[in-house]
Structure 1
Amino acid sequence: MGSPPSRPSSAKPSDDLSEGMPKDWMFWCIIFSFALSTLITAVEFTSIGTALPTIAHSLKGEQFIWVGSAYALGETALVPLCGGLSQIIGRRPIMLSALSLFALGSAICGAASSMNMLIAGRGVQGLGAGAIISSVQIMLSDLVTLRERGTFSGLIALAWAVGGGVGPVIGGSMAQSGNWRWLFYLNLPICAFCAIMILLFLRLKTPPATLREKLSKMDMIGNFLVTVSTTSVVTGLTWGGVRYPWLSGRVLLPLVVGLIGLVVFIIYEIYFCKPPVVPIVLRMDWTAASGYIQNFLMAVVAATLSYWFAIFFEACKDKSPTGAGVHIFGLSYSIGLMAIVAGVAIKKTGNYLIPIYIGWMLTIIGAGLLTTLRADSSLAKSVGFPVIIGSGVGIISVALLFPILASIPVTQTAPTMALYIFSRNFGYIWGVTAGGAIIQNELKRNLPASFLTQFPQGVEIGFETIPVIPSLEQPLKDAVLNAFGTALKVVWQLVLGVAIAGSLCSIGMKQLQLHTKIDNDWGRDELAVINHMWSRAPQREQQQQTDIEKRDQGDN
């Protein structure tokens, strides 16, 4: 589309589409496409937990932890690049490319004939998912003001929670019926539908620039550093204590190299790169920095719960994959509902500190209660305790956005959101990989030797043991159930420690004013034209009336 008409320099913020932007039917179609895109990424993230035992048994594969780690790695590695690219070539092309990548990865997973092929497909899926989540948050900032973000971030969080809630049920039911491949194939028409919605209704302005100017803004060194470093960290976390001992060089080397690489990336971005991938770090104060740290820690908690809690019902409560998915509804939907509540409250009050404090308090209480769960705990406790921690996570997941965005000018929204999503997705990696490593290490110590002899491949395929638990004779069955219960208790202890660390990081944050502007270099392109047309409408009507009166006088 052509450039929108220029606006008077004296226009107020509300006059230049920065406040009170009309929420027409096209706007809600865009929001729906954002929500649906987010929903399918959540389904893929959470459904694999209940389906993985069946998939591992079907493909006869080892290193099943990489099925989750590859997805989380893909979600994280290229997010900073997505933020830069969206700033250079525009938001819509990145979103469409993200949906295409997600569809491609889904097709590879559905056609997988081996565990390695499945892992590769999950990595491609993750690349698309990370770009989808990042693009949605960036474009949402282009469409609504920060004060309005609470409500709309809550809606997107609710979509993620709905996907997280139905994901385990979908994954479990398809695995139980032997149709686990459709868990991936069903993404193809949904991705196509979302892409059509984006093509039809999303029109965002893109600042003009030549190809040379756009390429000169690409920070290839920074993106290379963060991608390689993240991959190295994930490799060390995934192998630690499972494939190799924690103190072995094959675990310590990638961990140390990856963490040093991330430090080098930050130093490079601050002092050497022009323009940097994440320029916002140049002006980061404690309020914003604390927001990023808490965002990472919250993601560790959320990923650990979403990915591993269904295993508690399958391995300790003798539930089917579908039944396990149903029993974690309380966890999933408490996250989404409380995210909506938090978003509305922040919009009305402008205060984000109180929700953050309340959210961490609920998370700590819920995590503490989870550590008391055993294989023989009542079903009421097993279903009810996660609702408390889910409520806390839901509140925090929305509230942490505000201290970060309130600390920066609106022109820095895209790189800021890219760093925000990167810190969250990096936390997802730790939640998935650390949880899996803990479970495998604890199973190695606690599973009866007589049971382990049935699996010569070793404890690394521990998930393949879950489908055979219902057929075990007593007392072996109870011993296996208790072994899984003990392993998961250590995971919940990790969650408790992370929640306490997150609450401590919230100390010293400031309450900043939530601005009511958006970056007018972006936003909906057609709205500028519509607004201009409407602003001229009274003049046109007056001119038409004058012409009619002159014509009538001439006729007389």
Structure 2
Amino acid sequence: MMNAKDPSDERNVNAGDCHVETIPGLAKDEKEPGPVENGAHNEVIKGDDSDGRLNWSATSILAYICLTFIFTGSQQPLYFTAGSLEFIIKDVGGSSTGSWLPIAYTLAAAVPIPFAGYLQDIFGRRLILLFATSLTMVGLIILGTAHSFPQAVVAMALCGTGAGIAELAAFAGVTEVVPVKARGYSVAFMTVVATPFGPYPLYCQLLSTRATWRWGIWMVLIFQGIALLGAALLYFPSKHSRLVGLARKDVIKNIDYVGGLLSLAGLTLLLVALNNGGYLYHWKSAKVLVPLILGIVAIGAFVVWERYFAKVPIAPRVLFRGSIIPKAFIISFVGGVNFYSLSNFAPIYFTNVYHTDPVTTGARGIGLSLGVIWGAVLGATFVSRFPKYAKWCITICCAIMTSFIGSLAAGNPSNPGYVVAASTIGGLAVGGLIVPASTYATVACPDDLIATTVGLILALRAVGGSIGFAIYYNIFRNKLDTKLPTTIAQYAVQAGLPLSSATEFVTNFLTNATALATVPGVTPAIIAAGAEGSRWAFASSLKYIFYTSIPFGVIATGCAMWLGDITPLMTNRIVATLNH
């Protein structure tokens, strides 16, 4: 059994008898608000090396492992869908709107996270975790049996909703049952569990070409099913709440319903607009402008409500003070921007610049996915092992991310090895800043705001990623729409294509490749030259994305340099125990 000082015992101690720990960056006489009790904040009590004792039993270990499985499994529906997207579209349809499968997942995962984290810190995690994981499994079942595009979109929305909330609950659950100073180790272990899923690009290609893409979905379903069963039987954390001492009806009365509605509406409208703009609709279209404006207004109203009117806010002001959590928020936001540039556009090199067989294409993407995982493992470990220097680890990762993602602009059809190496190192750096930044924030936040803090970080990362995708995609499309036809024509003409056939050749090349042989003057060598021109056009268009990522990386690096020192907060204090 895990034994620790009950957090509720600390709340019953007189504040004057305790050493009060202030968050770095606050004035010495400004005491940081802590848990909400009867609508008012208590002070954060600093733990020491005698107030937390952790004894692992077999059931505690298994419960902990189940949480790590749920965390890992919650990320896989998106990866296995994105990795098999072209095969799914061929099977269920939706060729013109196929990207709405990952978009539906991302939207559904990001929107409820802030409110879900808030509710977890009030009502506890167990039931929310079990419900969210069950919802993910329902979505996986629908996706695995889908025979139409609308079915697949609904399935991805259900998967995203459940997986986003479950990932949040598992992250918070894993961090609160270990000493504060061990949270980095805990998060590192939780992340390393994802290593077997790291080669998912290869898995997706092999399953889709030699069996069916549906087997990837069934694998994730089985994995999550085992984790859900284990958590249902073994995961019973001690209860602690932002609203201790209140009757249940008073707790329900004090929930920030207005803030929840504004955050849900604002994020939904904003993310829909960002994902539609320049892709499905023109940026000047009412279908983009209306949700974009309404989303910005709703988020603005949310900020005002939380700042001046909410009694128990979803985004407490305490999280925006000091030199740690606010900068961790910014790093997560900017990290999301650059993570999306890397994860969404680097693979285009492997599919459109280097035309190879599916297995080779999948193998080249393994370095990127494993790099993100192991960057996160090493970075989170560093936070606990060397807390005094943790901010410099994050700073270096930001600098490496900026350099190597930016260096992908040098990719071209003749250097696949370079792109694989640069994307792998860039992935290591992205993992080494996104997860450690989250860990950094959980160390500094009040005990009863762990899920709230993680929820805000995940939401900011998703919003940053959507903004980044909107920026990068529009840059890419604008460049490609110009370069692709002209470069194909240039290479084909240089190979001997008559100028009079250039327009017809390019049109057929891009829309009806089977008709190329009917174009006057076309030979196999000319078709090969056109394909070579296509590869160079993609490479030339992609480089502008990676150039654009550099300023975002510089911002993240600057914030990381000014992160506060978490060393005074690295104690043996344990927030919750596992009761058996």
**TM-score computed with the length of structure 1 as normaliser:** 0.83
Structure 2 vs 1, CA of residues 56 and 488 (structure 1 numbering), >3 Å: closer, same or farther? farther
Residue 147 (structure 2) pairs with residue 113 (structure 1): yes
Residue 120 (structure 2) pairs with residue 65 (structure 1): no
Tell me how far apart the structure 2 counterparts of residues 429 and 25 of structure 1 sit (CA, whole Å).
42
Residue 182 (structure 2) pairs with residue 128 (structure 1): no
Tell me how far apart the structure 2 counterparts of residues 44 and 321 of structure 1 sit (CA, whole Å).
20
C-alpha displacement at 1:312, in angstroms?
1.8
- Partners of 2:115 and 2:263 within 8 A in 1: no
Kindly provide the CA deviation profile for residues 26-75 of structure 1, in whole angstroms up to 9, marking residues without a partner as x.
33323322222222233322233331122223333122222221111111
- Partners of 1:280 and 1:412 within 8 A in 2: no
Tell me how far apart the structure 1 counterparts of residues 368 and 319 of structure 2 sit (CA, whole Å).
38
Equivalent residue for 2:213, pick from 174, 180, 194: 180
Tell me how far apart the structure 1 counterparts of residues 297 and 287 of structure 2 sit (CA, whole Å).
16
Tell me how far apart the structure 2 counterparts of residues 406 and 246 of structure 1 sit (CA, whole Å).
41
Residue 109 (structure 2) pairs with residue 98 (structure 1): no
The alignment partner of 2:84 has SS state of: helix
- Range with greater deviation from structure 2 (179-188 or 65-74): 179-188
- The residue correspondences of 1:9-408 to structure 2 (distance < 5 A) are 19-61=52-94, 62-160=96-194, 162-163=196-197, 165-177=198-210, 179-207=212-240, 210-281=247-318, 284-351=321-388, 352-374=390-412, 376-408=413-445
2:258 alignment partner AA? I
Kindly provide the CA deviation profile for residues 65-87 of structure 1, in whole angstroms up to 9, marking residues without a partner as x.
22221111111111122112222
Cα RMSD after superposing both structures: 3.1
2:315 alignment partner AA? V
2:307 alignment partner AA? I
C-alpha displacement at 1:260, in angstroms?
2.9
Residue 571 (structure 2) pairs with residue 516 (structure 1): yes
The alignment partner of 2:193 has SS state of: helix
Residue 510 (structure 2) pairs with residue 477 (structure 1): no
1:294 alignment partner AA? I
- Partners of 2:129 and 2:169 within 8 A in 1: yes
2:551 alignment partner AA? G
Kindly provide the CA deviation profile for residues 98-143 of structure 1, in whole angstroms up to 9, marking residues without a partner as x.
1111111112222323323222211111111111111012112220
Tell me how far apart the structure 2 counterparts of residues 514 and 484 of structure 1 sit (CA, whole Å).
49
Structure 2 vs 1, CA of residues 472 and 111 (structure 1 numbering), >3 Å: closer, same or farther? farther
- Partners of 2:372 and 2:431 within 8 A in 1: yes
Tell me how far apart the structure 1 counterparts of residues 421 and 454 of structure 2 sit (CA, whole Å).
34
The alignment partner of 2:324 has SS state of: helix
C-alpha displacement at 1:358, in angstroms?
0.9
- Range with greater deviation from structure 2 (284-293 or 207-216): 207-216
- Partners of 2:392 and 2:561 within 8 A in 1: no
- Range with greater deviation from structure 2 (244-253 or 102-111): 244-253
The alignment partner of 1:473 has SS state of: helix
- Partners of 1:155 and 1:340 within 8 A in 2: yes
C-alpha displacement at 1:275, in angstroms?
1.0
Tell me how far apart the structure 1 counterparts of residues 74 and 402 of structure 2 sit (CA, whole Å).
27
The alignment partner of 2:108 has SS state of: helix
- Partners of 2:259 and 2:302 within 8 A in 1: yes
Structure 2 vs 1, CA of residues 305 and 213 (structure 1 numbering), >3 Å: closer, same or farther? same
Tell me how far apart the structure 2 counterparts of residues 347 and 483 of structure 1 sit (CA, whole Å).
46
1:393 alignment partner AA? V
2:383 alignment partner AA? I
Residue 538 (structure 2) pairs with residue 501 (structure 1): no
Tell me how far apart the structure 2 counterparts of residues 57 and 442 of structure 1 sit (CA, whole Å).
27
- Partners of 2:402 and 2:554 within 8 A in 1: yes
Tell me how far apart the structure 2 counterparts of residues 161 and 260 of structure 1 sit (CA, whole Å).
41
- Partners of 1:86 and 1:414 within 8 A in 2: yes
C-alpha displacement at 1:293, in angstroms?
0.9
Structure 2 vs 1, CA of residues 377 and 76 (structure 1 numbering), >3 Å: closer, same or farther? same
Tell me how far apart the structure 2 counterparts of residues 52 and 269 of structure 1 sit (CA, whole Å).
40
- The residue correspondences of 1:439-454 to structure 2 (distance < 5 A) are 439-448=476-485, 450-451=505-506
Tell me how far apart the structure 2 counterparts of residues 267 and 68 of structure 1 sit (CA, whole Å).
32
**TM-score computed with the length of structure 2 as normaliser:** 0.80
- Partners of 2:271 and 2:463 within 8 A in 1: no
Structure 2 vs 1, CA of residues 76 and 420 (structure 1 numbering), >3 Å: closer, same or farther? same
5+ long unaligned stretches in structure 2: 19-45, 486-502, 513-523
What's the counterpart of residue 416 of structure 1? Answer: 453
Equivalent residue for 1:488, pick from 538, 542, 545: 542
Structure 2 vs 1, CA of residues 338 and 189 (structure 1 numbering), >3 Å: closer, same or farther? closer
Tell me how far apart the structure 2 counterparts of residues 162 and 292 of structure 1 sit (CA, whole Å).
29
Aligned residues: 509
2:67 alignment partner AA? F
Tell me how far apart the structure 1 counterparts of residues 454 and 88 of structure 2 sit (CA, whole Å).
35
C-alpha displacement at 1:192, in angstroms?
1.8
C-alpha displacement at 1:451, in angstroms?
5.0
- Partners of 2:112 and 2:165 within 8 A in 1: yes
C-alpha displacement at 1:160, in angstroms?
4.2
2:405 alignment partner AA? A
2:65 alignment partner AA? F
C-alpha displacement at 1:146, in angstroms?
2.4
5+ long unaligned stretches in structure 1: 458-469, 527-556
Structure 2 vs 1, CA of residues 15 and 353 (structure 1 numbering), >3 Å: closer, same or farther? closer
Tell me how far apart the structure 1 counterparts of residues 80 and 347 of structure 2 sit (CA, whole Å).
9
The alignment partner of 2:213 has SS state of: coil
- Range with greater deviation from structure 2 (397-406 or 283-292): 397-406
Structure 2 vs 1, CA of residues 121 and 281 (structure 1 numbering), >3 Å: closer, same or farther? farther
The alignment partner of 2:381 has SS state of: helix
